[in-house]
C-alpha cells in the first residue's frame, strides 16, 4: 500500500484512541493526550459571547457526524458562558456566580446546568460521543466575589486575600488578578476542582500570556495538576514573548503566539497586532518552530474560515474575507508548522469548499505526524517549509507565494537539501501523484500555496 493511503487512516486512529480517556491527575497525563497538535472547534469566531446550549449541541452533533473521524475531538464554549444577557452593554450582562465566587453557566442559556449541575450534564453528553469538552475563562477572580469577600471553596481563605486589586485585564475588567500567595493558590484550586467535577477536558485561560503572567500561569498549572483530572491547558492571547517559550512549554499544552487571528491577509509592518493577519504568521511560526513537540504546541489561533456569524467575536457576520487560495495557504502553514487546528467557522453553515479543506486527510497527516518541521527559504514574496514524513517515507515540501501576482517557482532536490535522486512526487492538496522527478516546479496564484510529498522508496 502506498504511504499516502496508509496515512489517510491515522487521524481516525488518533480520534478513536482518545475516546473514553479521562480521570488522569497530572500535567504528564494531559501532555499524553496532546502527543499530536490538538484538533477541534471553538465557538468564539462565529458566536462570540452568545452561544447557548441548543446551538452548542447542534454544532457538536455536526462535528461528530462530519469531522470526528478526521481527528477533530475538542469542542469549546468560549467567553461569556456565565452571562445571562451576553449582548447587553458591559456591566449589564448579569453574571451567574456561586456563593463561593465561582462563575456558573447562565441557566437561561444552558438549562441543563440547573440544580447545581453546572456543565457536568453537557460535558457528559459530549463525552458520550467520544469527544472532549472545553471552556474559556479570563484569568483572575470575579470583582463581585472580592467586593463581597466571599469564601474560597475548600479553604479557610476569602476572596479579598487572593485578589490583587491593582491588576486587571486591559480589555476585560470583570476580574481582579490573583496574588502569588496561599490564598491565590486556593482560589485556582477551587476553580480547577469545580471544572474537574464538571468533566472539563480543555481549559483556555485568557489575558494571561501577553503580557506573560508567569506566577498565575504556574498557579493554574498547579491547580490543574491537583484536580485529579487531565485537563489540557491553553494560554491566550498572544503574542506570548519568545523569551518565555521554555516556561510556556513546561506549563501548558498550548500557548498563543499571536494576538487574535482574523480573516485578514496582510497588515502594514507598523500596524497594531490586533487583529493578527496571515502574513504576520510566517515570521512568527518560524521563530516558534523549535518549541513545537509532543505535549507542547505553539498555537497560531483558530481558523477564521467559512461563515463567521451570527455574532462573530470581531466585526459583522460574514463569509470569511479570505479567498479560497488564502484559506488553503492558512491550513498549509498551520499544518507544516504543526499548530493546533481549531476551527472558528459556524459548523451549522458549513460550505462544501471549507469542508473539503478541513477534511483532506493527507494535509491533516502533515499536521499530526510530520517531524523536523522548519522553514528553509524565507524571502519577502516566497516562503518554503519542509518536514520529514513519519516512518522515513520522504519529505514534505510547502511552498508559499506571498506576492500579489502569480509566481512560477522551481526547486531541485539539491536546492532543498534532499539527498536522494529522482523519486515519486505527490500533490497533497490535489491528492494526485505527479510522477517521478528530481525537482518541484509549480505556478502558484497570488497568496497561494502547495504542499507536496517527495517519497523516498
* 3-class SS of residue 159: helix
Q: Are residues 229 and 328 in the same domain?
A: yes
Q: Are residues 407 and 365 in the same domain?
A: no
SS (H, E, C) 317-353: CEECCCCHHHHHHHHHHHHHCCCCEEECCCHHHCCHH
End residue of a domain, out of 334, 369, 404: 369
For residue 388, the domain's CATH number is: 2.60.40.1180
Grid coordinates of 457: 522508496
Q: Are residues 108 and 189 in the same domain?
A: yes
- CA 301/CA 334 separation, integer angstroms: 9
Q: State the total domains in the chain.
A: 2
DSSP, res 224 = H
Within a domain: 246: yes
Within a domain: 300: yes
For residue 94, the domain's CATH number is: 3.20.20.70
Q: pLDDT tens, position by position, for the chain (457 residues)? A: 333 433 444 444 344 334 333 344 456 788 898 999 999 999 999 999 999 999 999 999 999 999 999 999 999 999 999 999 999 988 889 999 999 999 999 999 999 999 999 999 999 999 999 999 999 999 999 999 999 999 999 999 999 999 999 999 999 999 999 999 999 999 999 999 999 999 999 999 999 999 999 999 999 999 999 999 999 999 999 999 999 999 999 999 999 999 999 999 998 878 888 999 999 999 999 999 999 999 999 999 999 999 999 999 999 999 999 999 999 999 999 999 999 999 999 999 999 999 999 999 999 999 999 999 999 999 999 999 999 998 878 999 999 999 999 999 999 999 999 988 899 999 999 999 999 999 999 999 999 999 999 998 6
Grid coordinates of 430: 490535489
Within a domain: 376: no
- CA 388/CA 202 separation, integer angstroms: 29
Within a domain: 317: yes
Within a domain: 375: no
Q: Are residues 181 and 241 in the same domain?
A: yes
Within a domain: 58: yes
End residue of a domain, out of 338, 369, 400: 369
Q: Are residues 170 and 204 in the same domain?
A: yes
- CA 260/CA 277 separation, integer angstroms: 9
Q: Are 352 and 305 in contact (CB under 8 A)?
A: no
Q: Are residues 135 and 13 in the same domain?
A: yes
End residue of a domain, out of 313, 336, 369: 369
Q: Which domain holds residue 403?
A: 382-454
The reported pTM is 0.93
- CA 116/CA 135 separation, integer angstroms: 17
- CA 299/CA 295 separation, integer angstroms: 12
Q: Are residues 58 and 157 in the same domain?
A: yes
Within a domain: 343: yes
Q: Are 363 and 335 in contact (CB under 8 A)?
A: yes
* 3-class SS of residue 294: coil
Within a domain: 421: yes
DSSP, res 93 = S
- CA 356/CA 67 separation, integer angstroms: 11
Neighbours of 211 (CB within 10 A): 11
Closest CA to 77 of 42, 48, 114: 42
Q: Are 284 and 257 in contact (CB under 8 A)?
A: yes
Amino acid at each position: 500500500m502506498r504511504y499516502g493511503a496508509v496515512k489517510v487512516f491515522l487521524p481516525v486512529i488518533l480520534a478513536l484512541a482518545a475516546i473514553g480517556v479521562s480521570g488522569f491527575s497530572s500535567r504528564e497525563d494531559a501532555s499524553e493526550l496532546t502527543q499530536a497538535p490538538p484538533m477541534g472547534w471553538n465557538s468564539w469566531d462565529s458566536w462570540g459571547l452568545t452561544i447557548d446550549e441548543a446551538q452548542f449541541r447542534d454544532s457538536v452533533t455536526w462535528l461528530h457526524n462530519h469531522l470526528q473521524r478526521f481527528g477533530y475531538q475538542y469542542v469549546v464554549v468560549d467567553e461569556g458562558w456565565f452571562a445571562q444577557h451576553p449582548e447587553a452593554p458591559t456591566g449589564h450582562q448579569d453574571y451567574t456566580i456561586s456563593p463561593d465566587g465561582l462563575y456558573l453557566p447562565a441557566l437561561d442559556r444552558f438549562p441543563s446546568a440547573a440544580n447545581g449541575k453546572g456543565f457536568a450534564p453537557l460535558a457528559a453528553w459530549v463525552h458520550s460521543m467520544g469527544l472532549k469538552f472545553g471552556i474559556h475563562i479570563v484569568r483572575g477572580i470575579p470583582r463581585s466575589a472580592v467586593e463581597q469577600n466571599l469564601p474560597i471553596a475548600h479553604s479557610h481563605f476569602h476572596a479579598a486575600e487572593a485578589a490583587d486589586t491593582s491588576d486587571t485585564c486591559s480589555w476585560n475588567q470583570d476580574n481582579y488578578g490573583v496574588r502569588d500567595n496561599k490564598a491565590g493558590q486556593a482560589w485556582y484550586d477551587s476553580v480547577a476542582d469545580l471544572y474537574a467535577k464538571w468533566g472539563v477536558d480543555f481549559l483556555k485561560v485568557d489575558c494571561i500570556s501577553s503580557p506573560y503572567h508567569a506566577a498565575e500561569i504556574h498557579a493554574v498549572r498547579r491547580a490543574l495538576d491537583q484536580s485529579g483530572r487531565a485537563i489540557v491547558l491553553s494560554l491566550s492571547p498572544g503574542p506570548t514573548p519568545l523569551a518565555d517559550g521554555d516556561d510556556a512549554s513546561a506549563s501548558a499544552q498550548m500557548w498563543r503566539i499571536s494576538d487574535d487571528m482574523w480573516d485578514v491577509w496582510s497588515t502594514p509592518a507598523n500596524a497594531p497586532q490586533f487583529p493578527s493577519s496571515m502574513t504576520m504568521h510566517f515570521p512568527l511560526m518560524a521563530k516558534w518552530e523549535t518549541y513545537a513537540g509532543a505535549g507542547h504546541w505553539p498555537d497560531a489561533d483558530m481558523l477564521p474560515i467559512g461563515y463567521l456569524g451570527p455574532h462573530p467575536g470581531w466585526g459583522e457576520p460574514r463569509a470569511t474575507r479570505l479567498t479560497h487560495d488564502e484559506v488553503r495557504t492558512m491550513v498549509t502553514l498551520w499544518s507544516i508548522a504543526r499548530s493546533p487546528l481549531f476551527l472558528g467557522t459556524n459548523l451549522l453553515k458549513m460550505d462544501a469548499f471549507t469542508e473539503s479543506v478541513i477534511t483532506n486527510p493527507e494535509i491533516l497527516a502533515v499536521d499530526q505526524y510530520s517531524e523536523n518541521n522548519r522553514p528553509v527559504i524565507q524571502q519577502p514574496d516566497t516562503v518554503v517549509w519542509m518536514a520529514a514524513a513519519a516512518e522515513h517515507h520522504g519529505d514534505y515540501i510547502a511552498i508559499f507565494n506571498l506576492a500579489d501576482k502569480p509566481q512560477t517557482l522551481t526547486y531541485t532536490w539539491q536546492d532543498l537539501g534532499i539527498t536522494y535522486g529522482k523519486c515519486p512526487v505527490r500533490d497533497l492538496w490535489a491528492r494526485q501523484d505527479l510522477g517521478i522527478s528530481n525537482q518541484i516546479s509549480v505556478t502558484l496564484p497570488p497568496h497561494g500555496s502547495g504542499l507536496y510529498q517527495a517519497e523516498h522508496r
